[in-house]
Structure 1
Amino acid sequence: MAELATGRLLRIDPRAHARREKHGRASFTARKRSSATLTVSVEGDVDATNDRALVQYVEGRLPGSIHLDLDLRLTDFFGTAGMAALHNINAICDRYGVTFVLRGGRQLHRLVPICDPDGSLPIETGQSVFDDVHAGARNRQLFIGRNN
């Protein structure tokens, strides 16, 4: 007799990639850059009020992608709860076989040596030019625009 098992199948609504969601003091936006690459941009504050929402937002849009770019350059504040969310996203990407890279600014680079001492998170090594000019998130948005 064959064994039965249950599995989780996620199917994304194609219109969901263009949908922007606001959770607490952060906004999440996803878009497909190619058929295989998903870019998720985060603006605002990532903290304990929206860390789970970030993980759910990314996981809900990940199926069908081979590569994930998580752009955190427009964050004003990035708390330790956000680091836990990044570790969860890293585990989800590993489970789905998706390569993952983080693009972050000053806020993220401050926490990484403390919250990820073994270097398990795939953070882009180049520092952002925005760190050198000490630009706030609103100013960085003018530089980045919608050309992530």
Structure 2
Amino acid sequence: MTTHPRLGEVGTTASPARHLPSPRAPADLHSEVRWRSSEAIVVRVTGEIDTCTAMGLERTVREHLRARPAALRVDMGEVSFFGAAGLRALHRARLLADDAGVHLVVDAGGSLAVQRALDLLDRICAASSSRA
């Protein structure tokens, strides 16, 4: 039986150090009511919407849905980052609004991050409905 001379060396060399990215500061999400009447509520959301803050967005929408206005507009024109968790939060908010009989309007305004995410969502929905 022959043994390869390098078999004893397996695992003896140190693997090169891999540097992980530095953790980023926690994202901020702020909301404020811009307009409130018995018929409509306009809420402005600012900051970043990611995994850490998406539940805050959903909580904000849910809180205003309790008032059962005819329409709830979420102004997201000053959102600087909008990740997949934000899309999930908006989807859940849409379901809650439908159950409450409230017309939910999401306004991307001048936020390129939100516009891109909503455009992508529109394309996905259009493609899935054309297959049916």
| Partner residue in 2 for 1:37 | 40
Larger radius of gyration: 2
**Alpha-carbon deviation of 1:70?**
0.6
The count of corresponding residues between Structure 1 and Structure 2 is 97
State yes or no: 1:75 paired with 2:79: yes
Question: For residues 97 and 48 of structure 2, what CA distance do their matches in structure 1 show?
Answer: 23
Question: Residues 7-60 of structure 1, C-alpha deviation per residue, up to 9 Å, x if partnerless?
Answer: xxxxxxxxxxxxxxxx94110112443221011111110110011121112111
> What 5-or-longer segments of structure 2 have no aligned partner?
1-25, 127-132
Aligned twin of 1:124: none
2:113 corresponds to 1:107: yes
Query: Secondary structure of the residue that 2:125 maps to in structure 1?
Result: coil
| TM-score w.r.t. length of structure 1 | 0.59
Paired letter, 1:52? M
Q: Which of 57, 60, 64 does residue 63 from structure 2 map onto?
A: 60
Query: Share of identical aligned residues, percent?
Result: 28
C-alpha contact (below 8 Å) 1:47/1:80 kept by paired residues: yes
Could you state the TM-score of these two structures normalised by the residue count of structure 2? 0.66
Q: Does 2:65 align with 1:97?
A: no
RMSD: 1.8
